[in-house]
Amino acid sequence: MKGFIFFLLSIVFCVNLSFTQNYSKEKFDRILYYLNDSNKPKYSQEQRKELVLKAKKLAEEINSYSLLLQCNSKLLEYEEEKGNTDSFIKLSHENLRLAEKYKDTATIAQLNKDIGYFYFDKKVDSAHFYNHRAEKLFKLLNDHFNTASVLLDIALLQRGAKDFTGSELTSIEGIMFLNKIKNPSKEVVRKKSFFYNNLGVVFNVLEQYDKSIEYQNKSIELKLKLKGNNKSAIGISRNNLGNAFKNAGYYEKALKTLGAILEDETIERESPDFYTVVLDNYAHTLYLSNDRETLPGLYYKALKVSNINGVDSYNSIIILQHLAEYYNDLGLKDSAKYYGYEAKRIAEKYYNDDLLKSLLLLSEIEEGEIAANHLRNYVRLNDSLQKSERAIRNKFTRIKFETNEIEEENVKIARERMWLLIISIVVIVASFLLYIIFTQRNKNKKLEFIQQQQQTNEEIYNLLLAQNEVIEDARALEKKRISEELHDGVLGKLFGARLSLDSLNTNTSPEAMKTRSQYIAELKMIEEDIRKVSHELNADFVSGSGFRDIIKTLVETQTVAYGLEYKLEWESSIDWDDVSNKIKIHFYRIIQEALHNIYKHAKASKVNLVFKLENNAVCLSIKDDGVGFDVNRAKSGIGLKNMNSRIKEIKGKINIISKKVEGTTVSIDVPIS
C-alpha cells in the first residue's frame, strides 16, 4: 500500500516536473521570439522597447540571468540612443545589481565601463569613478584590451582636467597593456594610435614639442596602417602634428603638414569644424612665419565656415583671437578691439582657457586702466580656473584612492572570510574529532566494564564448576561404596542363602525344614540390608551443598579479611541445583559487593546473612550493625549501581533500609523458575 502511494506520488512529481520544464521551455522560446522581433526594423523604437519589456517580464518569471541581462542591455541601448540619462543610469544599476548577485565579474566590469563612458562628457568625476572600477575589474580578469580602453578614457579625462602628467602615465600604462596582446586586432592598433595621439597632445601642452612630434608621427603611422575610412582620424593627428611643428617653430614643416590636410577639398564639406580649425592653424602659422600675403583672408574664410549657420561656434573664438592679434600687430586698434571683444563675448559662454586668452589679448590691445582691468580679470579667472582644475584633480585622486581602498577592503574581507572559514572548519573538525574520541572512550569504558564483569562471572562460574566436580567426585565415591556394599555384603549373603536353600530344596527332612526356615529368616535380614542401602541412596547427602559451600567459603574468607563477625543462615532448604547459574553468579557477586561496601563504609563489626525461600523466590538479607548512610544520596555510587544492574538482570528486587547508627539491611528477592 505504502509502495503504491509512493509510486503515485513519484508519478505526480515527474509529471509536475516535466510540466514545469515544458512551461519554462515555452517561455524561453517566447522570450527569444520577442527579442528577435525587437531587432526587426519594421517596428518603431517604441514598439521594439515594448517587445523587449515583455521579454524581460518573462525572463524575470523563469529567473534566467542571461536572458534578463540581454533584455536589459537592449533597453540600455534604447535609453542611450535617446540620451535619457536617468533611465540609462537606473537600468545600468539594475544590471549591475543582477551581475553582482550572480558574481559575473566580466559583466560587472563591462557595465562599469559603459556607465563610465556614458558619463564621459556629462559628469567627469562620475566617469572617472566608474572607469576606475572597470579598470580594476578588467585587470583582475586579465582583459588587456578592455583595460586599455578604460585607461584611454581615463587618460582623456585626465587631459581634460589638465592633469597632463597623470594623462601621460595612464597613456603609457594603456600602451603597455595593448603591447601585451599577441596578434593585435585592428581595434587594438586603433586604440594604440589614440594613445599616441593623446601623448602627442599632452606633450604639446607641456611644451615638449620633439616628443609630441614623435608621438604624433607614431599615431599617424599606425592610423595609416589601418584600412577603411579613417581619414578624419588621420587628419586630426596631422593637425596635431602641424600644431606641434608650429609651436616648436618649425613653420615650414607645419605649413607643409597642415597644407596637406587642406589639399583634400572634400574636407570643407564633410567636416567643416575640423576644416576651420586646420585652416586657422594654417593661417596662424603663416602669421607666425611672417608670411602675411594671404592674411587676413584665410582667417575670414575660416570664420565664415565656422559661422556658417549664423551661430557662434567654439572654433570662432580662436579665429577671432588670431584676427585681433593680427590687427593689433598691424596697429589697427579698432579692428583688433572689435575681434578681441567678439572673442571674449563668445568665450564667456565657455568660461575656460579661451576666455583667459581673450582677456590677456585685450589687456595687450587696450591701454591704461582698461588694460589693467582686463589683466585683473585675467588673474582672477586664472585663479578660479586653476582652483576648479585642482579640485577636479583632487577628486580624481580621491576616487582612485577610494577605489583602491574599496579593493583593499574587499581583499581584507575576503581574507577575513577565508580565515573565518578555516577557523570554522578547524573548529568543526576538532569538535567532530573530540566527539569521536569521547564516544570511543565511553564505548571502551563500557566494554571494559562488561569485560570485567564477565571475567568475574567466569571466575565464579569456574568456582561453581570446581565445586560441582568435587560434589561429583564425592558422589562417585559414594556410588562405589554402595556398590561394594551391595556386592560384598548383600549379594554374598543372598548367594549363600540361595545356594543353601537350593541344596535343601528337595530335602524334606525336619532338619532340613528347620535349616530352611533359618535361611528364610536370613533372607529377611538381607531385605533389611537392602532397605538400608536403598535409603542411603535416596538421601543425596551432597545435593545443593555446592553453592552453599561456595557462599560459605566466600563469606568466611571475606569476613576474615575484613575483620567482621558473621552469621550465615539457611532458613529454608533451597534446591540450588534447580537455580540457574546466572542467578547464583549474581548472588555471589552481590554478596561480595555488599560485604565490600560494609567493610569500606559501614564500620560494622557484625554481619548477618539469611537465605530464605518465599513464594518461589530466593530472599537474601544482609544486615550489618554499622553507621548507616543516606540511601537516596548514595544511590549514584558505582557499587550500588552495579548491584542494581545485577538485580535487574535476574529480574529481582532490591531494597535497602539504612538508619544512622543502627546499621543497614539489604534485602534481595529473586524469583527462581
Partner 1 sequence: MTEHIKILMIDDHPMIIEGYQNTLLYTKRDNQELQIEIATNCDEALSAINKAVKTDLPYDVLFVDISLPASTDGSMNSGEDLAEFARKVLPKSKIIILTMFNESFRIHNIIKTINPEGLLIKSDLTSNELANAFQTVMDNIPFYSATVNQLIRRTISSDIVIDDKNRKILHLLSQGVKTKNLAAHLDISLSAIEKRKKQLRDLFEVEDGQDETLLNQARKKGFV
Binding site for partner 1 (CB under 8 A): 476, 487-488, 491-493, 495-500, 502-505, 507, 515, 522
Shortest distance, position 504 Cβ to partner 1, whole Å: 7
Exposure string over 80-105, b if 16+ CB within 10 A, otherwise e = beeeeeeebeebbeebbebbeeeebe
Q: CA–CA separation, 386 vs 391, rounded Å?
A: 8
Give the span between the Cα atoms of 356 and 378, in whole angstroms.
6
- Please state the closest distance from residue 446 (CB atom) to partner 1, in A: 41
3-class secondary-structure state, position 655: strand
CA separation for the pair 64, 57 (Å, rounded): 11
Nearer to partner 1, 408 or 488 (CB): 488
Q: How far is the CB of 673 from partner 1 (least distance, A)?
A: 32
Nearer to partner 1 among residue 400 and residue 493 (C-beta): 493
Q: Which one, of 553, 660, 548, lies nearest residue 601 by Cα?
A: 660
Beta carbon of residue 476, minimum distance to partner 1 (angstroms, whole number): 7
In the numeric block, which cell numbers belong to residue 177? 597593456
CA distance 402 to 115: 18
Q: Which is nearer to partner 1, 185 or 505 (CB)?
A: 505
Q: Which is nearer to partner 1, 142 or 508 (by Cβ)?
A: 508
Q: 349 vs 479, which CB is nearer to partner 1?
A: 479
Would you tell me how many other CB atoms lie within 10 Å of the CB of residue 430?
10
Closest to partner 1 by CB, 502 or 614:
502
Which residues on adjacent β-strands are paired with residue 566? Answer: 607
Strand-strand pairing, 617-624 and 653-659: unpaired
CB of 471 to partner 1, least distance (A): 16
Q: 624 — phi, psi (to 5°)? A: -125, 165
Is the separation of the CB atoms in 590 and 611 below 8 Å? no
Rg (CA), the chain: 60
What b/e string do you get for 39-49 counting C-beta neighbours within 10 Å, with b at 16 or more? Answer: eeeeeeeeebb
**Minimum Å distance from CB 547 to partner 1?**
24
Taking the complex as a whole, how short is the minimal distance between the CB of residue 543 and partner 1, in angstroms? 21
Q: How far is the CB of 499 from partner 1 (least distance, A)?
A: 3
What count of other Cβ atoms lies within 10 Å of the Cβ of residue 464? 18
Q: Are 308 and 269 in contact (CB under 8 A)?
A: no
User: Could you tell me the CA-to-CA distances from 590 to 158, 183, 443, 633 in Å, in that order?
Assistant: 97, 94, 25, 20
Run of H or E residues at 369: helix 368-484
Q: Which is nearer to partner 1, 264 or 472 (CB)?
A: 472
- DSSP 8-state symbol, 120: T
Q: How far is the CB of 672 from partner 1 (least distance, A)?
A: 32
Residue with Cβ nearer partner 1 (425 or 477): 477
Number of CB atoms found within 10 A of residue 10's CB: 10
Residue with smaller CB distance to partner 1, 489 or 671 = 489
Q: Rank residues 210 and 469 by Cβ distance to partner 1 and give the closer one.
A: 469
Instruction: In whole angstroms, give the CA distance from residue 239 to residue 33.
Output: 49
> Rounded to an integer, what distance in angstroms lies between the CA atom of residue 49 and that of residue 75?
7
Q: Which is nearer to partner 1, 438 or 495 (CB)?
A: 495
Least separation in angstroms between residue 462's CB and partner 1 is: 18
Closest approach of partner 1 to the CB of residue 577, in Å:
22
